[in-house]
Amino acid sequence: MTKKSLRVYLIAHHDGRFTAILLRTWAFVFDRPAPSAYGASEEDVLRKLEVELHARVATGEDDLDRYLWDEPFEVRTLGVDVHPQTTVKRAAVVGRRRIPLRLTYLASKLAEGGYRVMLPRFGWSVVLEDLSIAPDVLRQLVTSALLGESPRSLFEFRREGDETVRPWSPRLPSRAEGSSRRAADERPTLRAVAEDLVEKAARQRLPLAVGDSDELERALPGLDAAKGAPLPSILLVGGPGVGKTTWVYRLARRFAAWRRDKARARSPGLFSTSADRLLAGMTYLGMWQARCLKLVDELSHEGDLLHVGALLPLLRPQPDGASIGDVLLPALRGGEVSLIAECTEPELEACQRRAASLVACFQVVRLREPDPAAVPALLAEYEARKDARVRLHPAGKKRLVQHLAMFRRDVLFPGKAFRFFDWLTQEAGARAGAEARAGADAGRVLYPRDVSEAYARHSGLPIELIADEIPASAEAIARGLKGRVIGQDEACDTAARVLARFKAGMNDPERPCGTLLFVGPTGVGKTELAKELTRSMFGDEGRMIRLDMSEYRLPGSSARLLEAGPGATTLAQRVRQEPLSLVLLDEIEKAHREVFDLLLGILGEGRLTDEDGRHVDFRMALIVMTSNLGVADRPPVGFGDAERGAPAAAGPRRAAPASVREHFRPELVNRIDHVVQFRNLGRDSVLRIVDLELAKAEARTGLVRRNLRLRVLPEARAWLADAGFDPRRGARPLKRVIEERVITPIAARMAEDPGCRDREIVVEGGTAGLALRFT
């Protein structure tokens, strides 16, 4: 009889990746799916599969015997035709056409007679009297199961590559070793959901710890003299990047040193886990509570500490209403277990509101951000320990600290400095490798200008705005804006002054970079100026976060701005992901007054508190609001009034601020840096906008690829200006008119005539409209 072994079903995908499914000999009705994994290679997928199986066996959630086989498998293929779902008069029906599928199945002869036949992709297994009937039986089963399924779902069962079954011998305990393994390791749950930081510290596998080595003594006086006394539960409080996790690593290194000291009877253990790891795989009612109780039982009165990461996720209610903190609270109160958790000051307030009794079980240790003047020395120590290919000149270190202090205020020192240096090292890796292969010196020293250029690439900020060596006056910035935003010179001047203040570092560090309210009629360039500000400030229009405030006009709708968690696309979540951004609040006057209450905190202190109690930092964002307030009192918009200085421009400029003061509360108006009033567009401005839009159209890929050039005659240009301007909608219809009357006819001609290239397209105009002539 052959020795039993595990069997893995391997599926090779068309993209070169693999799926592995562990085959089991029998299953219960309500079983979890068999262990499986997906990875870039066979080695990768088998490594992941080993971790999954080890976790199941170690926690007693699965039995290794179920996966042991002694019979060989034969791999065969089967063709099945399935009738997919279709629709008849919007009703779902089984269609006439057939979709052929090619499936792989496994067959093995049983010692007691008969054959076991398996379809691993379906998780099916049947025992047949004779193997010859397997194709017919499987066709019946598959046809019945997939009859009337959508074609998309049938596509998932296509054959992509080789599908094989192979023996597998991972490093797992056999049944004979089970009892001895359990005796040697009496804490399987802890081993499955946590990693031993003391063991990693002893093997020098923890990240580098740079900085003050006396932090532990200040936080826990008499730590080394504590001998065998139990350690308290510790709550580390500090902002992101201040070094909370590094503090835990220091403690692990201290325990590792104690372990080497023969004078100590026993050194405490330090294990690390998280709320996500505790909940992973716990799909049924009561499973995660049972895991937590097993963990408490294994840690009870052992003198070890469990690092649980962020405290707030432990208090988040699960689908059954309870939280991990609720389960752990009795053991914490009784001193059975000791935890180390982390949070920020705002999160601490939220935790105290949610579970004050749980927070009271912790000894609070506050970690302070080092002074920026001390960060270059920390960077030098970090740089020396990393042995990186890139080096920062002392002046370059100071420049980096300056950039991080100005443009990355949501993360604290020293963490943000270390992270940037890691990014810099990775970026320089490829270049250094190429230089080394060429025989050049791979090492490179970065001076202040080099650091500014690197930070510009890292953050997306233009080098002109962050480098002291490059001048960028308000006048030069305004000229760039005026070239793309037509007819609003005063608005461009105001916006340019905001950017110049940002470059000089003279904006209030505790408020957003700037707060602008654009007031004016529709279609005069308010949104266009916001887009150009985004390009000028961040180099990418995609850094603009745009919200239509008319969607927040109902009571209670302001809560949608604060939603957090995986998949959320709210204002709070998007600014947290990209703090350097422009936030455009379109038609702000239509929002409910609850939204104005939120804006008071954003505009005044540069912060917003989301539904989880976490602060969102707006101090690196530029806030732009648009409004049509006062427009109803304006005279009809017409060509020429704004540019001849007629009352059409002067009157509304006096009325708009009054309309703003009447609509918004004084405390909100006082937090706005500039109320920017937009003028009505004159005819000359509209003609310039026509030229701008035609230039954008001429740069489209289809015209460039075929070398087709546009020449718009003055009559056609004037016709487009008249047709594309609306007295109430401004120049907003212009893009649609150019699309319909210029671009669409050209596209139709290009599609009809593949040889249409290397020509000039003359756009002629008259009273009847436009005409195109290909020369």
CA distance 442 to 451: 18
Over residues 414-425, mean pLDDT: 94
CA distance 703 to 709: 7
For residue 257, the SS3 value is helix
Q: Which residue, chain included where needed, has tokens 């253990």?
A: 269
For residue 774, the SS3 value is strand
Crossing angle of helices 683-698 and 714-723, rounded to 10° = 110
User: Tokens for 567?
Assistant: 């998949």
Q: Which residue, chain included where needed, has tokens 């654009």?
A: 518
**pLDDT-based confidence at residue 147 (cuts at 50, 70, 90):** confident
CA distance 307 to 236: 11
Give 631-680 as a DSSP string. Answer: GGGSPPP-TTHHHHT-HHHHHHHHHHHHHHHHHS-HHHHTT-SEEEEPPP
Which DSSP letter does residue 151 get?
H
Over residues 413-426, mean pLDDT: 94
Residue 43: name the closest of 193, 168, 172 by CA: 168
**pLDDT-based confidence at residue 172 (cuts at 50, 70, 90):** low
Look at the alpha carbons of 215, 219, 224, 228 in this order and tell me if their dihedral is positive or negative.
Answer: negative
Q: Which residues of 544-575 are buried (b: 16+ CB within 10 A; e: fewer)?
A: bbebebeebeeeeebebbbbeeeebebbbbbb
Which DSSP letter does residue 225 get?
G
Q: What residues form DSSP beta bridges with 586?
A: 548
In degrees, rounded to 5, the angle at the alpha carbon of residue 681 between the alpha carbons of residues 677 and 682 is 135
Q: Which residue, chain included where needed, has tokens 């120590």?
A: 381
Quick check: 686 and 729 in contact, CB under 8 A?
Answer: no
- In this predicted model, what pLDDT tens digit does every residue of 450-469 receive, in sequence order? 999 999 999 999 999 999 89
Per-residue pLDDT for 692 more than 70? yes
Per-residue pLDDT for 640 more than 60? no
Over residues 638-649, mean pLDDT: 45
| 353 Cβ neighbours under 8 A, 6+ residues apart | 613
Per-residue pLDDT for 441 more than 70? no
Q: Which residues of 650-661 are buried (b: 16+ CB within 10 A; e: fewer)?
A: eebeebbbebbe
- In this predicted model, what pLDDT tens digit does every residue of 297-332 receive, in sequence order? 999 988 899 999 999 999 999 988 999 999 999 999
Over residues 567-576, mean pLDDT: 88
0.75 surpassed by pTM: no
Quick check: 463 and 451 in contact, CB under 8 A?
Answer: no
Question: 136-145, 264-273, 636-645 — which is least confidently predicted?
Answer: 636-645
CA distance 426 to 419: 11
Residue 275: name the closest of 333, 224, 232, 339 by CA: 339
The C-alpha R_g of the chain, in whole angstroms, comes to 34
Between 731 and 217, the more confident residue is: 731
Q: What residues form DSSP beta bridges with 760?
A: 709
- In this predicted model, what pLDDT tens digit does every residue of 56-107 receive, in sequence order? 776 666 778 888 888 889 999 888 888 888 888 778 888 888 888 888 899 9
| 753 Cβ neighbours under 8 A, 6+ residues apart | none
The CATH class given to the 683-774 domain equals mainly alpha
Alpha-carbon torsion angle 87, 89, 93, 99, nearest 10: -30
Q: pLDDT value at position 435?
A: 58
Q: How many helices (H) and strands (E) does the chain have?
A: 31, 29
Over residues 720-727, mean pLDDT: 92
Alpha helices in 261-286 (DSSP H): 275-279
Domains 474-677 and 683-774 share a fold: no
Quick check: 392 and 446 in contact, CB under 8 A?
Answer: yes
Q: Which residues of 201-228 are buried (b: 16+ CB within 10 A; e: fewer)?
A: bbeeebeebbbeeebbeebbeeeeeeee
Right CATH for 474-677 from 3.30.1120.10, 3.50.30.50, 3.90.209.20, 3.40.50.300: 3.40.50.300
The domain limits of the chain are: 5-168, 186-366, 372-453, 474-677, 683-774
Antiparallel, parallel or unpaired: β 514-519 and 674-677: parallel
Residue 734: name the closest of 718, 745, 721 by CA: 721
- In this predicted model, what pLDDT tens digit does every residue of 6-33 receive, in sequence order? 999 998 887 778 899 999 887 776 677 8
Residue 328: name the closest of 366, 271, 288, 363 by CA: 288
Per-residue pLDDT for 220 more than 80? no
How many residues belong to the chain?
A: 775
Which DSSP letter does residue 369 get?
P
Which DSSP letter does residue 24 get?
-
CA count, 13 A, side-chain hemisphere, 587:
12
Q: Which residue, chain included where needed, has tokens 């036949």?
A: 117
Per-residue pLDDT for 181 more than 50? no
CA distance 633 to 447: 57
- In this predicted model, what pLDDT tens digit does every residue of 528-563 receive, in sequence order? 999 999 999 998 889 999 999 999 999 999 999 998
In degrees, rounded to 5, the angle at the alpha carbon of residue 674 between the alpha carbons of residues 671 and 675 is 100
Q: pLDDT value at position 152?
A: 64
Quick check: 741 and 770 in contact, CB under 8 A?
Answer: yes
| 59 Cβ neighbours under 8 A, 6+ residues apart | 188, 189, 192, 291, 294
Mean pLDDT for the chain overall: 87
Considering the domain 186-366 in this protein, what is its CATH number?
3.40.50.300
Crossing angle of helices 415-437 and 394-407, rounded to 10° = 130
Which DSSP letter does residue 364 get?
E
Per-residue pLDDT for 398 more than 60? yes
Per-residue pLDDT for 668 more than 70? yes
CA distance 385 to 375: 15
User: Tokens for 423?
Assistant: 């990014």
For residue 497, the SS3 value is helix
User: Tokens for 506?
Assistant: 């003279």
